[in-house]
């Protein structure tokens, strides 16, 4: 294991894993308690359209995906506020449209030689230095926003109506949250790919929620769990030569079922 650290790509992978886990833990917590898992999935998949645009026009893929998913998240957010009844349909349509756009544009890109699979399933082992910097600055921004507006985010997440009544800008907070999610999804795609983003955003907070009594602690525990899953997955994939993104998700999924199993044993005991 340790000899692997001699390679720069392995050190980058470790750093990427930790940095991505931090945004996943913090924002994933808000995704879970605000029940916006579906919209997050929509943003992640629609981001493929942004990658397609970037490759087709020669822009850096990170920039393309980031700006496109940011735009998509704002439209989805507006749709979810405007027509609550049909928001899921609208999000579903944009989800598929984004992917379709990406597929066509990547296909039409002359002489492209990018490994498309790496966007779908991630490639933590080939994260360049530049992306590490992008991840680190995003972590900083997200942490700053959450620390600064912690009590407002709790209020909005717990009781949106009351927060509105006492004059909190709940809509603005909601859009800020979506913006942070869409920018983060771009870097999470680097690690586990856009198809698996949702797992890393939701599994650690889901487990953490059961063992914590405040949103802040839930965020911290989610980050720790996420780091454990990512690094364990990375090690297993290295050791057994498996696809890294999928292995990370398998580790997280295994923990998910173990935690559910422990719960059902405990609740069965309580009933007896």
Partner 1 sequence: MKPYAIEFKNVWFSYERTEVLRDISFSLSQGEFLGIIGPNGGGKTTLLKLMLGLLKPEKGEIRILGQEPNDASHRVGYVPQNTDFSQAFPISVMEVALMGRLSRARIGKRYSQEDREKVRNVLEKVGMWEYRLRPIGKLSGGQRQRVFIARALATDPEILFLDEPAASVDPEFQTDLYDFLKELNKTVTIVVITHDIGVVSSHMKSIGCVNKHFIFHEGGQITQEMIDMAYQCPVDLIAHGLPHRVLALHEEE
* Rounded-to-integer distance, Cα 158 and Cα 233, Å: 33
Angle (deg, nearest 10), helices 8-33 and 37-57: 140
Q: Show the tokens assigned to 159.
A: 């009781």
Residues 51-80 that bind partner 1 (CB under 8 A): none
Question: Using alpha carbons only, what angle is made at residue 170 by residues 28 and 31, rounded to the nearest 5 degrees?
Answer: 10
Residue ranges in 27-56 that form contacts with partner 1 under rule CB under 8 A:
33
Per the structure block, which two tokens stand in for 106?
């990547």
113 or 213, CB closer to partner 1?
A: 213
> Under the phi-then-psi rule, with left for phi > 0, alpha for psi from -120 to 50, and beta for the rest, what region is 35?
left
Query: Rule CB under 8 A: is residue 152 a binding residue for partner 1?
Result: yes
The CB-of-61 to partner 1 minimum distance in angstroms stands at 34
Which listed residue (84, 167, 264, 268) binds partner 1 by CB under 8 A? Answer: 167
Residues 92-111 close enough to bind partner 1 by CB under 8 A: none
What's the closest the beta carbon of residue 76 comes to partner 1, in angstroms? 22
How far apart are CB 216 and partner 1 at their closest, in Å? 9
* Half-sphere exposure (Cβ direction) of 257: Cα atoms closer than 13 Å: 5
The window from 4-12, 72-80, 205-213, 227-235 that contacts partner 1 (CB under 8 A) reads: 205-213
C-alpha–C-alpha distance, residues 206 and 259, integer Å: 10
CA 228 to centroid of chain Cα atoms: 16
Of 227-256, binders to partner 1 (CB under 8 A) are none
Nearer to partner 1, 136 or 171 (CB): 171
Cβ proximity to partner 1: between 6 and 214 the closer is: 214
Asked if 215 is part of the footprint of partner 1 (rule: CB under 8 A), the reply reads yes
Neighbours of 154 (CB within 10 A): 16
**In the complex, minimum distance from the CB of residue 205 to partner 1, in angstroms, rounded to a whole number:** 10
| Residue corresponding to tokens 């790919």 | 193
Alpha-carbon separation of residue 197 from 134, 184, 186 (angstroms) = 18, 10, 9
Q: Does 88 bind partner 1 (CB under 8 A)?
A: no
Write out the residues near partner 1 by the rule CB under 8 A: 33, 148-149, 151-152, 154-155, 157-159, 161-169, 209-210, 212-215, 217-218
């Amino acid at each position: 294991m340790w000899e692997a650290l001699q390679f720069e790509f392995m050190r980058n992978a470790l750093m990427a894993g930790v940095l991505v886990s931090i945004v996943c833990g913090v924002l994933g917590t808000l995704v879970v308690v605000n029940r916006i898992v579906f919209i997050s999935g929509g943003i992640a998949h629609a981001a493929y359209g942004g990658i397609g645009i970037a490759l087709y026009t020669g822009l850096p893929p990170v920039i393309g995906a980031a700006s496109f998913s940011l735009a998509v998240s704002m439209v989805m957010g507006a749709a979810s506020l405007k027509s609550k009844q049909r928001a899921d349909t609208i999000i579903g349509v944009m989800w598929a449209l984004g992917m379709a756009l990406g597929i066509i544009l990547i296909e039409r890109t002359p002489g492209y030689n990018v490994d498309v699979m790496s966007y779908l399933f991630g490639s933590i082992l080939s994260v360049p230095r530049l992306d590490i910097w992008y991840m680190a600055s995003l972590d900083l921004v997200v942490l700053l926003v959450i620390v600064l507006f912690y009590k407002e985010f709790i209020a909005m997440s717990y009781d949106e109506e009351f927060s509105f009544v006492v004059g909190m800008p709940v809509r603005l907070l909601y859009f800020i949250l979506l913006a942070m999610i869409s920018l983060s999804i771009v870097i999470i795609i680097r690690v586990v790919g856009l198809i698996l983003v949702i797992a890393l955003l939701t599994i650690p907070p889901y487990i953490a929620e059961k063992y914590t009594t405040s949103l802040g602690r839930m965020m911290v525990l989610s980050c720790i769990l996420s780091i454990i899953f990512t690094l364990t997955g990375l090690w297993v994939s290295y050791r057994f030569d498996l696809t890294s993104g999928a292995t990370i998700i398998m580790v997280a999924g295994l923990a998910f079922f173990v935690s559910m199993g422990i719960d059902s044993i405990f609740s069965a005991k309580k009933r007896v």
